């Protein structure tokens, strides 16, 4: 249970060692430093509200080697300090949006959506069993009353499943095409057409492009086909995330022998929002393989720190998982990625199935059926595939009003925290708005049918040529043209208002301003004296106080309430 933010909760407490936080942004048209600003600002405000008013923020740059050109580039980061002799907290941003911007066209996205939904249909039974096995808490499954424990008797809501993939595959693209097509048609109406022409350009240049970039980010990064034109982009994004981690984890010197002071940080925390959580997850998986291959400088192939010849102990750390010891995800779609986008295999592809299972291992539950036939079993040598980071602390923050995120049921050793944001519009109010807008749209259509011959317009819409359209439009009087424009405007408003109301309920961006989530991050990842490890229960006392002292306390106003799910 996340408690209230205590006004003096962090007084007298600070990080025990030099710490780095690497934050990975999510989907959309992000700009450099957006994520760095949002994360650092709320973290500092949270600490100051809890008694750390003397925090100093300093802008630094880091000269990083460019692995492609051999030169250097400069990364910007923010350093938090509390006195000259105190350990520092350095906050870095991994910015990758420039690699996907305008790369995917609407036709590319439609092809990707078609392939994904086709796979969802093809592996319908596998997905249903997959969700039942791990007690999927998504809307596609109905839990037994009084519990969330996995059960083979959990009801799979097949209608919702088929309705969802049909909507994604057909309704959304058709609606987008219908809006632009309607505006293109209305722009030809005499006198009022210029207004619709302007609106058409606004929709095409801003909204359609924004949607293409948002969905395009998901489509590009979730490309697993090496033959795809997007595969190189995905690889570059993941390589960049791994390199950003390596900079924080490897000793400063390029060659040994190494000394304990050559390591820049005693603790590294990786945080990812939205699609950034998937990139973060994949980066840890990749890092696991790099360590086993002996490719992480300053570590042997078992993950222990070394000076180049013998193992070292750095303060209270001797293993790479003592330094990279925390993963924070918020607004994460990882469960939905596992459900819809995981690589599927046919029944007879037992070797490919095991190869995939071995290669993607970090905190992942078995996603495919265990091979019981010894003659078909593929051995995974521990020195190559043991999970080095499975015991690090992972807390996943989600909200039921955020359709992107959810509890992560397909992973192990993760604590899911339900933020329970309070949206500006209740569900009941949203349904009232939706009903009123549907009623307005129905009345407008009925009115239009009474004024004009509905059958003629319907036939013209379905079968009419461009010349027939122009002939019909010329027959309209100026009054009819204005009346038609007014009716269409009412329909546009009836469609836009529910969308705006839905946006008011969508909480995917609320995490950035939630101080109690940030107070929990400080408590669970930054303040512990020892490297944080997974525990089945989250802290039950108010965040920002020692556990034994957290009882009734003064609180700082926060517009959200939260509940932790173990």
Per-residue pLDDT of 267-280, as tens digits, reads 999 999 999 999 99
> Of 364, 408, 415, 409, whose CA–CA distance to 393 is shortest?
415
pLDDT of residue 84: 80
Range from 63-67, 144-148, 249-253, 353-357 carrying the lowest mean pLDDT: 144-148
Q: How much of the chain exceeds pLDDT 70, in percent?
A: 72
**Structural tokens at position 227:** 């033959």
Neighbouring C-beta atoms of residue 432, cutoff 10 Å? 13
Q: Could you tell me which residue, 284 or 70, shows the higher pLDDT?
A: 284
**pLDDT at residue 442 in the model:** 85
- pLDDT (tens digit per residue) in 69-122: 667 788 999 999 987 888 999 999 999 998 987 777 777 777 777 777 777 666
Convert the pLDDT of each residue in 119-169 to its tens digit. Answer: 766 666 777 777 777 777 777 776 655 544 444 556 767 666 666 666 665
Q: Is the pLDDT of residue 545 over 50?
A: no
Q: What is the pLDDT of residue 348?
A: 81
Strand-pair partners of 65: 72
Q: Which residue has the tokens 């603790």?
A: 267
Alpha helices (H) along 394-477? 427-451, 454-463, 466-475
Would you place residue 248 in the very low, low, confident or very high pLDDT band (cuts 50, 70, 90)? very high
Whether residue 336 contacts residue 138, with contact meaning beta carbons closer than 8 Å, is answered with yes
Half-sphere exposure of 18 (CA within 13 A, CB side): 14
- Taking alpha carbons only, the member of 451, 461, 515, 524 closest to residue 483 is 451
* pLDDT (0 to 100) of residue 131: 74
Residue 124: its pLDDT value, please?
62
Enumerate residues 6+ apart whose C-beta is below 8 A from 237: 96, 99, 100, 221, 279
Most confident of 306-315, 393-402, 544-553: 393-402
280-286: average pLDDT: 95
Average pLDDT in the chain:
78
394-428: pLDDT as tens digits:
999 998 878 788 889 889 999 999 888 877 776 67
CA distances from 26 to 100, 154, 229, 324 (A): 12, 32, 21, 21
Phi, psi angle pair for 327, to nearest 5°: -130, 125
Q: Are 422 and 561 in contact (CB under 8 A)?
A: yes
Whether cis (ω within 30° of 0) applies to the bond prior to 270 is no
Q: Read off the tokens for 307.
A: 């000076």
pLDDT at residue 30 above 50? yes
In this prediction, residues 449-477 reach a mean pLDDT of 70
The lowest-confidence range among 68-72, 204-208, 308-312 is 204-208
224 vs 564, more confident: 224
């Amino acid at each position: 249970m996340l408690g209230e933010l205590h006004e003096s909760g962090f007084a007298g407490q600070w990080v025990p060692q030099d710490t780095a936080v690497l934050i990975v942004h999510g989907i959309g048209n992000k700009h450099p430093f957006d994520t760095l600003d949002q994360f650092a600002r709320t973290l500092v405000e949270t600490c100051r509200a809890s008694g750390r008013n003397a925090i100093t923020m300093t802008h630094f740059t880091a000269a990083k080697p460019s692995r492609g050109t051999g030169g250097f580039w400069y990364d910007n980061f923010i350093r938090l300090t509390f006195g000259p002799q105190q350990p520092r907290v350095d906050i870095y941003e991994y910015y990758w949006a420039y690699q996907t911007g305008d790369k995917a066209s609407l036709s590319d996205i439609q092809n990707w959506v078609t392939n994904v939904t086709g796979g969802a249909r093809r592996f319908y039974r596998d997905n249903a069993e997959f969700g039942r096995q791990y007690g999927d808490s998504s809307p596609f499954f109905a839990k037994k009353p009084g519990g969330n424990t996995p059960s083979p008797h959990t009801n799979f809501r097949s209608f919702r499943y088929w309705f969802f993939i049909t909507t994604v595959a057909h309704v959304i693209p058709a609606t987008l095409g219908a809006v632009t097509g309607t505006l293109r048609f209305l722009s030809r109406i005499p006198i009022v057409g210029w207004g619709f022409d302007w609106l058409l350009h606004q929709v095409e240049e801003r909204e359609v492009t924004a949607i293409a970039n948002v969905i395009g980010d998901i489509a590009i990064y979730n490309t697993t086909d090496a033959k795809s034109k997007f595969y190189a982009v995905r690889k570059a994004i993941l390589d960049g995330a791994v390199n950003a981690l390596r900079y924080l984890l490897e000793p400063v010197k390029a060659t040994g022998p190494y000394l304990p002071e050559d390591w820049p940080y005693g603790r590294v925390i990786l945080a990812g929002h939205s699609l950034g959580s998937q990139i973060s997850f994949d980066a840890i998986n990749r890092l696991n393989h790099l360590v086993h291959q002996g490719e992480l400088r300053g570590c042997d192939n078992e993950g222990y720190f070394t000076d180049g010849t013998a193992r070292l102990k750095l303060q209270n750390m001797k293993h790479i998982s003592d330094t990279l010891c925390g993963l924070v995800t918020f607004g994460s779609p990882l469960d939905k990625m596992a459900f819809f986008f995981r690589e599927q295999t046919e029944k007879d592809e037992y070797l490919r199935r095991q190869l995939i299972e071995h290669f993607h291992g970090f905190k992942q539950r078995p996603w495919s059926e265990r091979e019981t036939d010894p003659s078909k079993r593929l051995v995974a040598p521990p020195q190559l595939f043991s999970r080095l980071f499975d015991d690090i602390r992972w807390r996943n923050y989600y909200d039921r009003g955020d359709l992107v995120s959810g509890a992560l049921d397909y992973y192990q050793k993760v604590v899911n925290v339900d933020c329970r944001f309070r949206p500006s519009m209740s569900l009941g109010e949203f349904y009232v708005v939706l009903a009123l807008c549907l009623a307005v749209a129905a009345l407008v259509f009925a009115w239009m049918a009474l004024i004009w011959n509905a059958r003629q317009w319907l036939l013209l819409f379905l079968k009419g040529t461009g010349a027939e359209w122009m002939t019909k439009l010329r027959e309209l009087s100026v009054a009819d043209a204005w009346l038609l424009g007014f009716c269409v405007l009412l329909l546009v408003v009836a469609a836009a208002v529910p969308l705006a109301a839905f946006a008011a309920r969508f909480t995917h961006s609320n995490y950035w301003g939630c101080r109690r989530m940030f107070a929990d991050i400080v408590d669970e990842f930054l303040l512990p004296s020892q490297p944080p490890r997974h525990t089945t229960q989250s802290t039950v006392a108010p965040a920002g106080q020692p556990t034994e002292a957290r009882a009734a306390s003064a609180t700082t106003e926060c517009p959200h309430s939260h509940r932790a799910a173990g």
